[in-house]
Structure 1
Amino acid sequence: MNCYDCVLDGTVAPAVAVCSRCGSGVCLDHVRVTAEHPHRVTGTGVATLSGTARRATCATCRAAERT
């Protein structure tokens, strides 16, 4: 799989991750990796787990989440 953003730029680079939001393949230059605390629905509320998880997104989805 190739990086979707690179293809749009007219180049080709192998994807190293898949965006967790839109599913596009992303290369090392375009991937945005963040740490987040997973949540689990428990009964009538949500419990935040103590560990952190890695989350990979493309630059487009990352920018959309910040607005």
Structure 2
Amino acid sequence: MRCYDCLQEARSDTDGIGVCSRCGLATCENHARIRQVHVARQVAMGASHSRLPARRVVCHTCDAAETTH
């Protein structure tokens, strides 16, 4: 797969390293943002949280939309 943002910048030779978990577009190492998320699962009457965070890949556009206030 090719990075969508690189294609928009007329650079068609950049391979994607992952898929954005928000919009689903392929993203390269320059446009990808790796975020940590805490994973919770339902246990009986409450939620149990993992001690180790999971990883999530987002493109720079979705990352900006999530973090800009």
**TM-score, reference length from structure 2:** 0.83
CA RMSD of aligned residues (A): 1.4
Instruction: Name the counterpart of 1:2.
Output: 2
- Determine the C-alpha separation between the residues in 2 that align with 1:5 and 1:44: 44
> For the residues of structure 1 that align with 2:44 and 2:61, how far apart are their CA atoms?
34
> Residue 19 of structure 1 aligns with which residue?
20
Residue 55 (structure 1) aligns with: 56
Distance of aligned partners of 1:43 and 1:22 in 2 relative to their CA distance in 1, 3 Å threshold? farther
Query: Runs of at least 4 residues of structure 1 off by over 3 A?
Result: 41-47
Find the aligned partners of 1:45 and 1:63 in 2 and give their Cα distance.
32
TM-score after normalising by structure 1: 0.85
User: Could you say which residue in structure 2 is the equivalent of 1:29?
Assistant: 30
Shift of 1:35: 1.6
Shift of residue 41, structure 1, vs aligned partner:
3.7
Q: What are structure 1's unaligned runs of at least 5 residues?
A: none
Q: Following TM superposition, by how much is the alpha carbon of 1:5 offset from its aligned partner in structure 2, in angstroms?
A: 0.3
